[in-house]
Amino acid sequence: ILFLFICALIIVWKRSNRLEEKSTPSNKHVFRHNQEEYVDHRGVKVIVGHYIGNAVENIPNADKNVINRNNYSPMPDAGKNGFPVIIEPKDLLVSQQIFQINRFNLLASDRIPLNRTLPDVRRKKCKFLYKDYNSYPKASIIIVFHNEAWSTLFRTVWSVINRSPEELLEEIILVDDASERDFLRDPLDEYIKKLPVPTKILRSKTRIGLVHARMMGSREAKGASLVFLDAHCECTIGWLESLLAPIAEDRTTVVCPVIDIINDNTFAYIKSFELHWGAFNWNLQFRWYTLGNRELQKRKQNITRPFHTPAMAGGLFAISKEYFFEIGGYDEGMKIWGGENLEISFRVWQCGGKVVIAPCSHVGHLFRKSSPYTFPGGIGETLYSNLARVAMVWMDEWGDFYFKFNNEARKAKELQDVQQRIKLRDKLKCQSFRWYLENIWPQHFFPTESRFFGRIRNLEKDQCLIKPIGKESSNQPMGLANINICVNKSLTVEMFVMTEDGIIMTDDSVCLDAPETTVNSLHKVRIMACSGTRRQRWKYNKKTQELVHATNGFCLDVSSSKTFEDGLIISNCTGVRTQKWILEPHPWK
């Protein structure tokens, strides 16, 4: 029986993969769950990444009646305490079909009670902190949605109601961004009347996107602080007081929770790494990066204290209402989805505030691999116009860098009018992007005037250092560094930055890494998460054209062994041509 069961599972799993493939749009802007794994210098697997969704116009295999019905049908113990929901084989096919509606396992979600329990995932010390409710600004919780499922939306709402101190909850504001589902209208209106916390619903007749929807909610809010949530979150105990306390201390602090993961298939609640901060890569995609050594040491001294983050993920944060409007709310030139998280992060930092992550506040978010809704105007056009606005208003020279390597954004740029936002920047007397990079994110991997930026070419092979990309890189154990034919175009995968301290790095905060001590004189060179440690330091000798590992004096070399052809190694410096490198600068502005 067990054997048959396993066979059934395998068959269904295979089918599900096929279903997924079929539903991937052939749109040229397909954005994947852009998650990559690296093994860092300690041998710990590090996942950097964030996805930007891919929209589909139609929902394959899904019955329109199913879409339009609220099928919430709780089973008392399903998903209890954050455990995964197991779908029996007989229901698997149905669950896969309706997966397409919201791009998560709706069948599983509909079985989990709206008030399911969740574990207390905080560090023990957190439990004794944040008790001074009277001094914290009361919160208006703002949840915007477009075509959200009933069960995820109201599990968000109930997690707020059940796990927030009553004294701190002013109200809940739901903003419906032109949803097309009937159950989100009258049934919802009736339902929220009965909730124990004042809850209202605002509706937009036309699709306005999340920035405008959040602005709509903010303008109506009565609380001294605004707390934004996506419509598929679950808050855990202690989440709200630890978000509000830093605002009471300094009203210009914008506070994000640690974002835990709700699995899109099983709805299991998974605690995520606290040792991350939010930033972005050369394409302005938001990414989580591991903290460097110095940062880690600082954190260890007080692990409950909110720590700085260069950028926020976007969906989940608390801010003083007064301060939110003072610094210009959101950029209302932004459409539908994307980019607003970087815009508000840059603006807050550059204009005198700060963005922090409160380690005692844990909120689960349902991460999806693709986006279920349409992007009127096209997904690429929407996202790139939003990002173009960010670059034009806030990034100065690094905006030019972004446009240089990003054709779509460069096209979108022409259509943007950002005068109002530039005026705002002047009015608030904000700092430059250089200031931001130097002071808020000194570990950044962008080019500067004092760094080399360009190709690193091997003299013997006439090949260039290349960043492992795509799937191949994750199959390659430990991200081995490689060289490849130098392309004549400006390809970012061939671009490297070498800092004054000899760190050779590239996009997504990955660095050229080799062991400090070597037993024998042949060692593979890897691409790993930048750690700021000595094993990632190199010296370029202009005269001999050698790239020497700073700690052991070995030279960067190209392997000629059959099993590791064209892979990079360090070996005894002998003056051979495979150890000679040309640093070919590339104009980045």
Residues that bind ligand UD2 (CB under 6 A): 53, 144-146, 148, 177, 207, 209-210, 213, 230-231, 259, 313-316, 336-338, 340-341, 365, 371
CA distances from 384 to 331, 335, 338, 345, 367 (A): 14, 10, 9, 18, 22
Q: Which does 246 bind (CB under 5 to 8 A by kind): ligand UD2, Mn ion, none?
A: none
Q: Which bin fits 532, alpha (ψ -120 to 50), beta or left (φ > 0)?
A: left
Cβ distance to ligand UD2 smaller for residue 206 or 520: 206
Q: Is there a contact between 365 and 261 (Cβ–Cβ < 8 Å)?
A: yes
Interacting residues with Mn ion between 28 and 67 (CB under 5 A):
none
- Residue at 466: amino acid letter: I
Burial 194-225 (b: 16+ CB within 10 A, else e): eeebebebbbbeebbbbbbbbbbbbeebebbb
Q: How far is the CB of 347 from ligand UD2 (least distance, A)?
A: 14
Q: Which does 465 bind (CB under 5 to 8 A by kind): ligand UD2, Mn ion, none?
A: none
Cβ distance to Mn ion smaller for residue 256 or 327: 256
Q: Which does 316 bind (CB under 5 to 8 A by kind): ligand UD2, Mn ion, none?
A: ligand UD2
Cβ distance to ligand UD2 smaller for residue 203 or 451: 203
Cβ distance to ligand UD2 smaller for residue 141 or 547: 141
Residue that has been written with the tokens 């009127």 in this structure: 376
Angle between helices 396-405 and 379-394 (to 10 degrees): 150
Q: How far is the CB of 255 from ligand UD2 (least distance, A)?
A: 14
Interacting residues with Mn ion between 229 and 258 (CB under 5 A):
230
Burial 105-134 (b: 16+ CB within 10 A, else e): bbbbbbbbbbebbbeebbeeebeebbeebe
DSSP 557: E
Q: Return the HEC string of 153-173.
A: HHHHHHHHHHHCCHHHEEEEE
Q: How far is the CB of 315 from ligand UD2 (least distance, A)?
A: 2
Cβ distance to ligand UD2 smaller for residue 339 or 447: 339
Q: Is there a contact between 557 and 549 (Cβ–Cβ < 8 Å)?
A: no
Cβ distance to Mn ion smaller for residue 230 or 557: 230
Cβ distance to ligand UD2 smaller for residue 53 or 137: 53
Beta bridge partners of 259: 363
| DSSP states of 341-373 | HHHHHHHHHHTT-EEEEEEEEEEEEE--SS--S
Q: Which does 146 bind (CB under 5 to 8 A by kind): Mn ion, ligand UD2, none?
A: ligand UD2
Structure tokens at 104: 């998560």
Q: Which does 507 bind (CB under 5 to 8 A by kind): Mn ion, ligand UD2, none?
A: none
Q: How far is the CB of 180 from ligand UD2 (least distance, A)?
A: 12
Q: Is 58 exposed, middle or buried (0-12, 13-18, 19+ CB in 10 A)?
A: exposed
Q: How far is the CB of 148 from ligand UD2 (least distance, A)?
A: 5
Under 8 Å CB-to-CB from 191, ≥6 apart: which residues?
154
Q: How far is the CB of 255 from Mn ion (least distance, A)?
A: 18
Cβ distance to ligand UD2 smaller for residue 233 or 528: 233
Q: How far is the CB of 358 from Mn ion (least distance, A)?
A: 19
- Residue at 498: amino acid letter: M
Q: How far is the CB of 544 from ligand UD2 (least distance, A)?
A: 48
Q: How far is the CB of 410 from ligand UD2 (least distance, A)?
A: 21
Cβ distance to ligand UD2 smaller for residue 329 or 454: 329
Q: How far is the CB of 231 from Mn ion (least distance, A)?
A: 7
User: Judged by CB under 5 A, which stretch of 224-232, 259-267, 413-421, 430-438 contacts Mn ion?
Assistant: 224-232
Cβ distance to ligand UD2 smaller for residue 315 or 567: 315
Q: Is 472 helix (H, G, I), strand (E, B) or coil?
A: helix
Q: Does 176 bind Mn ion (CB under 5 A)?
A: no
Q: Which does 170 bind (CB under 5 to 8 A by kind): Mn ion, ligand UD2, none?
A: none
Cβ distance to ligand UD2 smaller for residue 204 or 544: 204
Q: Which does 313 bind (CB under 5 to 8 A by kind): ligand UD2, Mn ion, none?
A: ligand UD2
Q: How far is the CB of 374 from Mn ion (least distance, A)?
A: 16
Q: Which of 483, 512, 389, 395 is nearest to 447 (CA)?
A: 395
Burial 537-563 (b: 16+ CB within 10 A, else e): bbebeeeebbbbbbbbebbbbbbeeee
DSSP 81: G
Gap between the Cα atoms of 319 and 256, Å rounded: 9
Cβ distance to ligand UD2 smaller for residue 155 or 455: 155
Q: Which does 535 bind (CB under 5 to 8 A by kind): ligand UD2, Mn ion, none?
A: none
Q: Which does 259 bind (CB under 5 to 8 A by kind): ligand UD2, Mn ion, none?
A: ligand UD2
Q: Which does 53 bind (CB under 5 to 8 A by kind): ligand UD2, Mn ion, none?
A: ligand UD2
Give the containing element (helix H, strand E) for 320: strand 317-320
Q: Is there a contact between 494 and 463 (Cβ–Cβ < 8 Å)?
A: no
Residue that has been written with the tokens 């996506």 in this structure: 230
Q: Which does 314 bind (CB under 5 to 8 A by kind): Mn ion, ligand UD2, none?
A: ligand UD2
Q: How far is the CB of 99 from Mn ion (least distance, A)?
A: 16
Q: Which does 137 bind (CB under 5 to 8 A by kind): Mn ion, ligand UD2, none?
A: none
Q: How far is the CB of 168 from Mn ion (least distance, A)?
A: 23
Q: Which does 177 bind (CB under 5 to 8 A by kind): ligand UD2, Mn ion, none?
A: ligand UD2
Cβ distance to ligand UD2 smaller for residue 348 or 483: 348
Gap between the Cα atoms of 20 and 264, Å rounded: 13
Binding interface with Mn ion (CB under 5 A): 230
